[in-house]
Structure 1
Amino acid sequence: MAIDWSGAAGERHRGIALAMAQPGDGAPELVRPGHRWSRGEVLDWLLDELPADSLVGLDLGMSLPFADAGAFFPGWIESPADARALWALVDRICADDPHLGVSSFVDHPEASAYFRRHGGREGAGFGANGKPGGRGRFRRTEHAQERMGCRPYSNFNLIGAAQVGKGSLSGMRVLHRLGGALPVWPVDPLPAAGSVVVEIYTSLAAIAAGRSAGRSKMRDHAALNAALAVLGSMPVAAGGPIDDHRSDALLTAAWLRRAASSPQLWMPAGLAEIAQTEGWTFGAT
């Protein structure tokens, strides 16, 4: 399973897409094609309809930088000790935000000091190494993504078309509300059997399919099917344009099907030190 995610305001989002690739080499398929998902519906689907023994990739940051400063929010007394406590904090502060939104967290008097927000508002804690400005703080997995040719954004950045901060924070609410019903690797150990959730970055799937990070978005079925062929997958039986949310989900589902059996992807260097705090992006090496 691959889930392209959205942190946009509102209830239902064109930017959310779910795709499934069954064992074998068959074409990946969209779940409820044409449906405009809400974040709450995705949570319910994961809890109630997820097929057994599924590897589920969520396209969002499961945590915030920790290792660089020894804390998520240095100097704030409520700074959580690990990722699960971070998810609980975000969900608690945003309890009254509808549709699993996160406005209350990004505007929180203390938490907002660590984010770059619209209107030129940059908190004193946004910059790396305690310095203002720049690209912000990054997790170790995001440094690994950069070494692979990607250009990740800090999860503390909330502005720009490519920002991932709001989507990551809303995703943390979902991870918290899973309530342990699904293990989340590597915050939780990889189970010997059953389903598991991982963080994905769809550009990594595109790179594995022979595209560069700068050309990761596919907006027609011909480009999508060419990439699927590189991954050993049958083509999607459609032609013409497709939005990049659905093509990202379809390609990444096919990539996950193949990558899941690669032991090295489950054992990135230095993981033990940060597994419960920063987590990791499956496929980053």
Structure 2
Amino acid sequence: MTSFDHFVAIDWSGAIGPVQRGIAVAICERDGAPRLLDRSWSRVAVLDWLATELPPHTLVGLDLGLSLPFADKGAFFPGWEESPADARALWALVDRLCRDDPHLAATSFVDHPQAARHFRRHGGRTGDLFGAGRGRLRVTEEHQRAAGLNPYSNLNLVGAAQVGKSSLTGMRVLHRLAGALPIWPFDRPGTGSLIVEIYTTIAAVAAGRPKNRAKMRTVEELNAALAVLGSPLVPGHGAIDDHRSDALLGAAWLRIAAGDARLWQPPALTADLRRTEGWTFGIP
């Protein structure tokens, strides 16, 4: 298991525009309080930072889905001849079809006539292959649900809790990082930095927050959660937006979770899932 010197949590955003106000990046070292890297972040800026400025031996948690459901149907997009065979091919397909979308958006993929059949989109546009209820889930999301969490399908693009847009835009970043940073579990951890998928509610629950009140909107609430994790506290008081509090708590949680060997070897994480769906770090 790799030893890390820095821990970064990134609260992501699939929003349209040159700058995404919902992106927050927090970092902590082996000791000390987590802190925000307070910039006007965009997806392009995060990509550049990861590629050129990331400190050595850093564990990076991205709060988005690194892939789409595959195991339930034996394909990402059943019935589409271009349906990719694995996650890396999926990332490449999303980036290729969205090459003219500015700011690493993924609108062209969502609107593609074949891909659109699998998504639930705004305006009551639900594809005929989206599935029933909340839609298709990955195996790791089924395990999240069994743990009492409330995951949403990455094929759902509607509602405040959806993560589909973030996931698709994140896949463009992952494709462009190919070869620069290993991504777990698609790559085995080495001796340097590593990207994992996180679900910030897992960090909040580990810090004593109720599952239905995972969001922290004051510094006092955030510091109470950090104290449960044994982390030094952040300065300040009063209101804080939940993007920043999620990132700060996520970085502190990663510092603890990285040393839990069980989280690196989930029993349900098969070789096929390592190629296709991936896994959420923190789900044993």
Pairwise TM-score range, normalised by the shorter structure: over 0.9
What is aligned with 1:190? 189
Q: Where in structure 2 are the equivalents of 1:96-175 lying within 5 Å?
A: 96-127=100-131, 133-175=132-174
Cα distance, 1:144 vs structure 2: 1.2
Q: Does 1:4 align with 2:36?
A: no
Q: Does 1:217 align with 2:215?
A: yes
Q: 2:81 aligns with which of 67, 71, 77?
A: 77
Cα distance, 1:270 vs structure 2: 2.2
What SS class does the counterpart of residue 254 from structure 2 fall into? helix
What is aligned with 1:130? none
- The CA distance in 2 between the partners of 1:241 and 1:96, in whole Å, is 38
What SS class does the counterpart of residue 275 from structure 2 fall into? coil
Q: Does 1:23 align with 2:27?
A: no
- The CA distance in 2 between the partners of 1:154 and 1:213, in whole Å, is 18
Q: Kindly provide the amino acid, as one letter, of the partner of residue 4 in structure 1.
A: D
What SS class does the counterpart of residue 232 from structure 1 fall into? coil
- The CA distance in 2 between the partners of 1:179 and 1:260, in whole Å, is 23
Q: Does 1:266 align with 2:272?
A: no
Q: Kindly provide the amino acid, as one letter, of the partner of residue 12 in structure 2.
A: W
- The CA distance in 1 between the partners of 2:47 and 2:148, in whole Å, is 32
| Structure 2: 5+ residue stretches without partners | 1-7
Q: Does 1:41 align with 2:45?
A: yes
- The CA distance in 2 between the partners of 1:41 and 1:166, in whole Å, is 18
Q: Kindly provide the amino acid, as one letter, of the partner of residue 143 in structure 2.
A: A
Cα distance, 1:11 vs structure 2: 1.2
- Normalising by structure 2, we get a TM-score of 0.96
- The CA distance in 2 between the partners of 1:109 and 1:189, in whole Å, is 35
- The CA distance in 2 between the partners of 1:14 and 1:232, in whole Å, is 29
CA-to-aligned-CA distance 1:81-127 (integer Å, 9 cap, x gap) = 00000000000000000000000000001110100111111111100
Cα distance, 1:240 vs structure 2: 1.0
CA-to-aligned-CA distance 1:16-68 (integer Å, 9 cap, x gap) = 000001002x110001x2x2211000000000100000000000000000000
What is aligned with 1:55? 59
Q: Kindly provide the amino acid, as one letter, of the partner of residue 159 in structure 2.
A: G
Aligned alpha-carbon RMSD (Å):
0.8
CA-to-aligned-CA distance 1:246-278 (integer Å, 9 cap, x gap) = 000000000000110000000111212311100
What SS class does the counterpart of residue 264 from structure 1 fall into? helix
- The CA distance in 2 between the partners of 1:150 and 1:270, in whole Å, is 17
Q: 1:230 aligns with which of 228, 242, 254?
A: 228
What SS class does the counterpart of residue 13 from structure 1 fall into? coil
What SS class does the counterpart of residue 37 from structure 1 fall into? coil
What SS class does the counterpart of residue 136 from structure 1 fall into? coil
- The CA distance in 2 between the partners of 1:177 and 1:149, in whole Å, is 34
Q: Does 1:244 align with 2:251?
A: no
- The CA distance in 2 between the partners of 1:281 and 1:207, in whole Å, is 15
Q: Does 1:281 align with 2:273?
A: no
Cα distance, 1:284 vs structure 2: 1.1
Cα distance, 1:69 vs structure 2: 0.4
Aligned residues: 276
Percent of pairs identical after alignment? 66
- The CA distance in 2 between the partners of 1:247 and 1:148, in whole Å, is 23
